[in-house]
């Protein structure tokens, strides 16, 4: 049953808003009740389905018996087929699903069963007739015509049976009766089948019964499908993809790592076919006995077509043979299987860790379940894990998702982990799995009933043992690299033999050990990496990989300066995990020189990628090491404090001042880190209105830059001078310096400098009320920002674009940009100062629309954030925002603004969340001017 039909059955036309989650909880509870009785609730392409070890549900038993009878008819075993038809009909007790007529599924389900019975009765009647049991054939045909009175085929079989029994007059009377019924109730004439039969009876030219084909009996009979312990969750899209492929003959191979659920998927798909009348054979090839038994059965299947002439109707139901756990196929069995593939009326559904590699083989790789927070509710991995929890455990979703992430969504591992909740809390389990990975789930006593091996470790070991030697070397090198990595880094790590690397990557992906991603990226699954590292004496990656990654980074970093900055940034971003892993390994293993070199190289990357907080943390970790060079130590500290200034950390200016003075005393060589440090210090002092200090240190930066004779440092000091001038209120000079810098950046092609300078120019243009120019440059800044990762710099571009739009009266469009600024601040890059700026620009827009209550809350929330940064609202705002605030003050008075905005001032973070969610704009009184509270008339009409 589909989720929709179950929802309708439970709640009718008015389901609650939580219906989807409630239904999942009901199904989960039902599964827990049914599993002890050997019944599972599975998800299929059609919806939820009850599955049992033996098909004792009468409707399923009926379809199975009919399918077996159909197969017996194909092979000429008419007596056996007749017995199976009789067995199927004895299951009927009236009409299907009596008492369930109110349920939505009833009509279609009943109609399908009734049609299946009518078809089976007709086939049974023909089977009896071909055996020579004419009287019994007449009885069955009479039942068929009563059960389905408008079925001409049933009437034809009844007439034919009476004719073969020597009762010609009764035969003709039967046809006349059918004609009258069709004419009187449907207004139809009989079709060609009845008309042709009537003519043959009148002329005594009815064809004789054909000689029966030689019977071929499959020995042993059809095996029962396994009841998978891995519940089918999150596989609906895969089953939908598989469904049309199952309609055609050939070979379909389900591949993937052991424990991923291949058997469960194959059993679910094949059982669905069998219930719908397809003949299906299940063969487990995991043991030597299974292989020999399979060979005997396959010989029978191969020989059967030689003795049977199949009708078009029978050929349309392609027989299915499921070969489960087929990793050991070779020799005679492989030869016979290849013969089978030449028989175009057979479908082989194969499960194994790697493709067979045969011609025209259709391969579907089964990946682990998706994991991680999802907007629609728990992830498929979390849903499966929660179904296996011990009774009484409250599934805290954050701990559940953390466990699923550590186990990478592997179904077998999730079920084993869920078992541990019998004696371990979820939080403890999440901590254990996070620290120890799969080893915390699969101990030495772990056993699986769903795999032909004793543990997941043995499953991975068997997969690794089957690899070619070249693939083994690729596996070893991949184990040295943590997380997602690019082909370029793997190529650097593996050496010049690229053909071995390519072949190895292909085999590792086919075996499920390696995951392929976009942009030619790859990741060794954690379970495989743990297996490889555990086999090493030192149980850790090769230290040489750090030097390879350092060289890889050093070759890319120069590209972060200049016109190809975006491309270089993407290359490093794709290798982020192995690069950070190498930095952590260098710190852990005492490779201090490598750690320092990596930290300095990554400074520009962290800046452009907007990973300032993470970068600061790593720089501090490297700086805390026992370094041989005092110069390196002080430069790392300056770099870390500079990053702190970028994210507006309180107190960074004091630390930065002390470090820079210390560097001057030590005579540290002047480079970008030193000049940038002085620039950052001057910028922070300008923000805090410490103009004398800001001018002093900006001048210091300019002197050092000139002394270095480095054009890029001279430009850096010039840009800083414009920044300080802007905070001094000299926006004309600040704008002139920004425009000068933009011209230089256009010539050099440095995308990062261009973006910074464009935002500076837009800010100054807005403050000078040159709004059309500000709009034009902010649009250009947006185009440049599209090539950068989301972060503080992109937030600044969005913020200033919104500032210009608000000044121009385009409030609604500006609101979208500002909401995204706040979302970035919440999700990944906290920035109290940027948050305050976004809030007071939003407040100005709300005040302009006369939504005074909202405006008061937003202004006061911005005031609270600025106070935490040591700033005040009035001096921070641009001219148009100040004017809107003054207008609001005139309408309400400052006291009432303070009263109405108390919620924003006391809990500003709550206001931020209400903006991101959109709830703030639905405040009941928000659409009315707040003068209703103060008794003041509006200064202008709404929307003017």
Q: Find out whether the peptide bond into 220 is cis, omega within 30 degrees of 0.
A: yes
In angstroms, the first-to-last Cα distance of the chain is: 56
Q: Note the pLDDT of residue 928.
A: 41
Long-range contacts, 690-698 (Cβ 8 Å, 24+): 691/724, 691/727, 691/728, 694/724, 694/727, 694/728, 695/724, 695/728, 698/724
Q: What is the DSSP string of 10-41?
A: HHTT---TTHHHHHHHHHHHHHHHHGGGT-EE
* pLDDT at site 184: 82
Rounded to whole angstroms, how far apart are CA atoms 575 and 488?
A: 9
pLDDT for the residue numbered 295: 54
Q: How many CB atoms lie under 10 A from the CB of residue 551? A: 12
On whether the CB atoms of residues 836 and 803 are closer than 8 A, the answer is: no
CA distance 283 to 38: 21
Alpha helix positions (H), 276-407: 288-307, 312-315, 331-342, 380-387, 397-406
User: What pLDDT score was predicted for residue 776?
Assistant: 95
Q: How far apart are CA 329 and CA 14, in angstroms?
A: 55
Say what percent of the chain tops pLDDT 70.
84
Q: What's residue 596's pLDDT?
A: 94
| Segment-wise mean pLDDT, segments of 10 residues, the chain, 944 residues | 75 71 76 73 70 64 80 75 90 78 61 79 90 91 87 89 91 91 78 86 83 35 46 83 85 89 87 74 66 54 40 50 80 64 72 85 91 84 87 83 90 86 85 78 47 60 84 89 91 78 89 88 90 78 86 92 84 93 91 93 88 91 88 93 85 90 91 92 87 91 89 86 87 92 85 87 93 94 82 88 95 93 85 92 94 92 88 86 93 87 86 90 52 37 31
**Beta-carbon-side half-sphere exposure of residue 526 (alpha carbons within 13 Å):** 17
- DSSP letters for 123-191: HHHHHHHHHT-HHHHHHHHHHHHHHSTT-HHHHHHHHHHHHHTT-HHHHHHHHHHHHHHIIIII-----
Tell me the per-residue pLDDT of 385-404, one tens digit each, with 9 for 90 and over.
988 887 777 788 888 999 99
Q: How far apart are CA 154 and CA 142, in angstroms?
A: 8
The HSE-up count of residue 859 (CA atoms within 13 Å, CB side) is 31
**Is residue 260 within 8 Å of 364, Cβ to Cβ?**
no
Measure the CA–CA gap between 559 and 571, rounded to whole angstroms.
Answer: 10
In whole angstroms, give the CA distance from residue 550 to residue 595: 9
Q: Note the pTM of the prediction, 2 decimals.
A: 0.60
Domain boundaries of the chain, sorted by first residue? 236-365, 369-466, 756-934
- Using CA atoms, how far residue 554 sits from 407, 599, 899, in Å, is 33, 11, 57
The CATH number of the domain covering residues in 236-365: 3.40.50.300
What pLDDT score was predicted for residue 677?
A: 93
Q: What is the pLDDT of residues 13-34, one digit of tens each?
A: 667 777 776 777 788 778 777 7
Q: What is the Cα gyration radius of the chain? A: 38
Q: How many helices (H) and strands (E) does the chain have?
A: 46, 10
Question: What CATH number was assigned to the domain covering residues 756-934?
Answer: 1.25.40
The sign one gets for the Cα dihedral 655, 656, 659, 660 is: negative
The reported pLDDT for the residue numbered 321 is: 83
Angle at the Cα of 388 from the Cα atoms of 387 and 392, rounded to 5 degrees = 85
User: According to the model, what pLDDT value does residue 837 have?
Assistant: 94
Contact 344, 246 (CB under 8 A): no
Other CB atoms within 10 Å distance of the CB of residue 357: 9
Task: Give the per-residue pLDDT at 839.
Answer: 96
Q: What is the pLDDT of residue 446?
A: 42
C-alpha span between 495 and 476 (Å, rounded): 13
Token pair belonging to 862: 């911005």
Own/partner contacts of 237-245, CB < 8 Å, gap of 24 or more, are: 238/265, 238/364, 238/366, 239/44, 239/45, 239/265, 239/268, 239/269, 240/45, 241/364, 242/269, 242/364, 243/45, 243/269, 245/362, 245/364
8 Å CB contact between 856 and 926: no
Q: What is the largest CA-CA distance in the chain?
A: 124
Q: What are phi and psi of 336, to 5 degrees?
A: -65, -35
pLDDT at 226: 54
């Amino acid at each position: 049953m589909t989720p929709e039909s179950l929802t309708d059955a439970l709640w009718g036309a008015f389901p609650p808003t939580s219906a989807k989650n409630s239904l999942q909880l009901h199904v989960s509870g039902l599964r827990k009740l049914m599993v002890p009785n050997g019944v599972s609730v599975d998800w299929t392409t059609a919806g939820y389905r009850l599955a049992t070890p033996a098909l004792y549900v009468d409707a399923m038993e009926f379809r199975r018996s009919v399918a077996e009878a159909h197969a017996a008819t194909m092979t000429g075993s008419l007596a056996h087929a007749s017995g199976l038809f009789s067995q199927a009909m004895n299951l009927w007790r009236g009409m299907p699903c009596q008492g369930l007529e109110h349920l939505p599924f009833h009509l279609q389900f009943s109609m399908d069963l009734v049609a299946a019975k009518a078809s089976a009765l007709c086939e049974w009647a023909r089977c009896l007739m071909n055996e020579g049991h004419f009287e019994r054939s007449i009885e069955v045909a009479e039942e068929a015509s009563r059960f389905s009175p408008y079925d001409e085929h049933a009437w034809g079989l009844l007439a034919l049976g009476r004719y073969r029994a020597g009762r010609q007059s009764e035969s003709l009377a039967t046809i006349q009766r059918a004609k009258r019924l069709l004419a009187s109730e449907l207004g139809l004439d009989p079709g060609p089948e009845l008309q042709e039969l009537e003519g043959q009876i009148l002329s005594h030219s009815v064809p004789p019964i054909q000689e029966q084909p030689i019977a071929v009996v499959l020995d042993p009979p059809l095996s029962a499908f396994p009841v998978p312990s891995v519940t089918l969750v999150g596989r609906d899209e895969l089953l939908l993809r598989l469904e049309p492929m199952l309609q055609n003959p050939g070979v379909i191979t389900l591949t993937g790592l052991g424990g991923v659920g291949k058997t469960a998927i194959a059993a679910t798909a094949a059982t669905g076919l069998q219930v719908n009348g397809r003949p299906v054979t299940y063969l487990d090839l995991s043991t030597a006995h299974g292989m020999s038994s399979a060979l005997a059965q396959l010989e029978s299947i191969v020989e059967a077509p030689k003795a049977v002439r199949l009708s078009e109707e029978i050929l349309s139901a392609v027989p299915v043979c499921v070969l489960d756990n087929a990793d050991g196929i070779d020799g005679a069995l492989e030869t016979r299987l290849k013969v089978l593939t030449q028989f175009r009326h057979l479908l082989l559904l194969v499960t194994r860790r790697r493709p067979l590699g045969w011609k025209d083989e259709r391969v579907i790789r089964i990946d682990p379940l998706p994991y991680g927070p999802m907007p629609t509710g728990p992830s498929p991995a979390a849903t499966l894990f929660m179904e296996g929890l011990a009774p009484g455990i409250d599934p805290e979703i954050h701990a559940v998702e953390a466990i699923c992430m550590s186990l990478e969504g592997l179904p077998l591992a999730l079920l084993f982990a869920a078992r541990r909740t019998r004696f371990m809390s979820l939080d403890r389990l999440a901590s254990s799995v996070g620290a120890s990975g799969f080893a915390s789930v699969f101990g030495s006593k772990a056993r699986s009933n769903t795999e032909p091996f004793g543990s997941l470790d043995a499953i991975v070991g068997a997969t690794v043992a089957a690899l070619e030697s070249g693939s083994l070397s690729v596996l070893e090198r991949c184990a040295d690299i943590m997380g997602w990595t690019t082909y370029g880094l793997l190529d650097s790590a593996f050496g010049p033999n690229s053909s071995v690397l390519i072949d190895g990557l292909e085999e590792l992906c086919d075996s499920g050990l390696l995951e392929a991603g976009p942009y030619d990226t790859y990741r060794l699954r954690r379970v495989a990496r743990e297996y490889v590292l555990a086999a090493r004496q030192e149980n850790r990656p090769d230290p040489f990989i750090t030097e390879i990654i350092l060289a890889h980074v050093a070759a890319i970093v120069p590209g972060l300066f200049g016109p190809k900055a975006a491309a270089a940034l993407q290359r490093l971003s794709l290798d982020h995990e192995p690069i950070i892993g190498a930095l952590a390994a260098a710190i852990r293993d005492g490779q201090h020189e490598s750690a320092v070199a990596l930290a300095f190289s990554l400074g520009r990357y962290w800046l452009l990628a907007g990973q300032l907080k993470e970068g600061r943390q790593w720089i501090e970790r490297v700086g805390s090491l026992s370094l041989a060079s005092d110069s390196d130590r002080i430069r790392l500290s300056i770099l870390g404090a500079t990053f702190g200034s970028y994210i507006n950390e309180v107190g960074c200016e004091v630390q930065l001042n002390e470090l820079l003075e210390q560097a001057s005393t030590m005579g540290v060589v002047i480079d970008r880190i030193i000049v940038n440090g002085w620039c950052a210090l001057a910028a922070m002092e300008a923000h805090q209105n410490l103009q004398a200090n800001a001018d002093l240190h900006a001048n210091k930066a300019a002197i050092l830059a000139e002394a270095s004779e480095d054009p890029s440092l001279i430009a850096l000091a010039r840009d800083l001078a414009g920044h300080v001038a802007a905070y001094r209120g000299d926006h004309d000079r600040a704008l002139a310096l920004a425009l000068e810098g933009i011209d230089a950046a256009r010539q050099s092609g440095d995308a990062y400098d261009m973006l910074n300078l464009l935002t500076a120019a837009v800010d100054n243009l807005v403050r000078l009320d040159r709004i059309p120019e500000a709009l034009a440059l902010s649009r250009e800044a947006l185009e440049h920002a599209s090539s950068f990762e989301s972060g503080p710099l992109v937030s600044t571009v969005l913020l200033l674009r919104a500032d210009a739009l608000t000044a121009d009266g385009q409030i609604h469009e500006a609101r979208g940009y500002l909401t995204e600024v706040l979302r970035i601040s919440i999700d990944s890059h906290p920035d109290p100062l940027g948050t305050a700026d976004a809030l007071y620009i939003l407040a100005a827009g709300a005040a302009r629309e006369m939504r005074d209550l909202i405006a008061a809350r937003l202004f006061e929330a911005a005031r609270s954030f600025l106070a935490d940064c040591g700033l005040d609202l009035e001096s921070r705002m641009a001219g148009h925002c100040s004017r809107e605030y003054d207008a609001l003050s005139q309408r309400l008075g400052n006291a009432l603004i303070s009263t109405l905005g108390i919620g924003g001032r006391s809990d500003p973070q709550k206001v931020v969340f209400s903006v991101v969610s959109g709830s703030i704009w639905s405040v009941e009184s928000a659409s009315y001017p707040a003068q209703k509270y103060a008794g003041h008339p509006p200064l202008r009409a709404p929307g003017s």
